[in-house]
Structure formats: structure tokens, C-alpha cells
A = this chain, B = another copy of it.
Amino acid sequence: MPIAEKIEHARDETRTDLHSLLREIRASNVSNLNSLHGRGKVLFSEGEPARGIYILRTGRAAVSITSTEGRVVILRMAEAGDVLGLNSVLGGSSYDATVKTIGPCRTDFVARAELLDLMERPAGAKTMLTILSRELAELTNRTRSLLLPQTASARLARLLLDWSRENGLNTSGATRIEKSFTHEEIAQMICSSRETVTRLLASMGRRQIIQINSGSILIRDRAALEAMAVG
């Protein structure tokens, strides 16, 4: 999928515009509160009034949506440099997703009123435009990965390929990805169930497509993964 790759590559190049935002924040004397969180802390939940944005300085957090029956779908994994909740704050209503930390995180918080002030500055509006633009591209991309493949194995294959592009360490032909997610979390990323993820990973291991070690996954047969990702 060439389009998906292009979008994915664009992502990392522009991620640094967090710095633009922070520069603007400093220039406009807006206070930003620095906090530390442990694993599993909910920064904000879907439906709460949008108090302000969180800027993820270190760590990772899962952005997810939840159905009334408790079904959870992870829309994206935020990494250091990501801005969380911006669109909800601009929209002025409530957060449209839930953000939960995956590991220890350091965040800055900028309150809604201060952000709106910031938007009045031309550079502020342009910076936010860039951030929203990237967010929209990523969500479109993610929607493609989740809605187009009809089988769970295709979605899992795509996820592994995505990971190998982002975090992959190239080790003698095969790529190794540090896995730090439980099967449950993977299931929520690909809209499937925990058991299915367990079974699919085991099956891929048996077929020599991947190799599962404690703490990492080794991709042995990228071509096979790409073939699975099409279906």
C-alpha cells in the first residue's frame, strides 16, 4: 500500500512541530503545567468537558474509544511529541476519545482559555493547523488499516508491518520489533479478541513467518506478511 507508506513517512518528519507549539506557548506567556504519571493513568475520558490539551513529553499513551458495553478500540498510540485533545478543545465541547498511559509518562498541560489566546496569534493558528492536519491524515490512514481488511489476520499482519516500519531494528535480514503490548491491547488495536490474537500469533510462529521471543517479535518472512495484509 504505497499511500499508507507515504503518509507514515510524512508523520515522523513533521512530528517535531510540537516544538513550534511550545515556542509559541512560551512566547505568549502561557503557563504549562508539568506532570508525571505512572502506567495506566487516564489523562482524560471520552465525554468529559475538554479542559485543555496534554502534550506528551516522554512515554506512550493509548488513544481509544469505548462503546457503552465496554468494547474498546485503540485509535492510535501517542508517542513523545504528540499533542492530545487539541481538536476537542478547539471544538469547545467534550473530549472525543480516552487517553490512557501505557507506561510512565511526563506531560505538559495547557488550559483551554490559554490555548484559545494562542490561536489568535498567526503563528499559533498555523501551528495548530499543522498538528490537526497530521492528526487527520493519521486517522484516515488508521481507518484504512482497520476498515479495508475484512479478516483479523490481515489487520494483524498490517499492524506488524507498521511496527516494523516505525520501531523496527534491522538485524541480519529480519527485522526485530520490541513488543511491549499484551495480546489484549493488540486485540483492541486490530478490532479483534484476545484469543484470536493469541491464536494468530501462534499460527504465524508455527509457519515461520515470525518468531516470538520474550519481549520482542522477529519478522522472518516479510513477503508472507505482506501477502496476508492484502486480504
Contacts and interface: CB of A to CB of B under 8 A. Distances in A.
A206 interface: no
Contact of A71 (B97, B135, B150): B150
Nearest to A129: B129
> What copy number does this chain have within its complex?
2
A1 interface: yes
A-side interface mostly: helix
B148 A67 contact: yes
B140 A68 contact: no
B230 A68 contact: yes
Contacts of A75: 140, 143
Given A65-B148, A140-B139, A3 B132 contact: no
Given A96-B3, A125-B126, A139-B140, A90 B133 contact: yes
Interface size class of A (residues with CB under 8 A): 35 or more
Contact of A137 (B3, B96, B230): B96
Contacts of A3: 46-47, 94, 96
B7 A96 contact: yes
Interface in A1-47: 1-3, 6-7, 10, 46-47
B90 A129 contact: yes
Contact of A122 (B94, B122, B128): B122
A170 interface: no
A143 B65 contact: yes
23 contacts: A2-B47, A3-B96, A7-B91, A65-B143, A65-B147, A66-B148, A69-B230, A71-B148, A71-B150, A73-B148, A75-B140, A87-B133, A87-B137, A90-B133, A91-B133, A96-B141, A119-B129, A125-B126, A125-B129, A128-B129, A132-B136, A139-B139, A146-B147
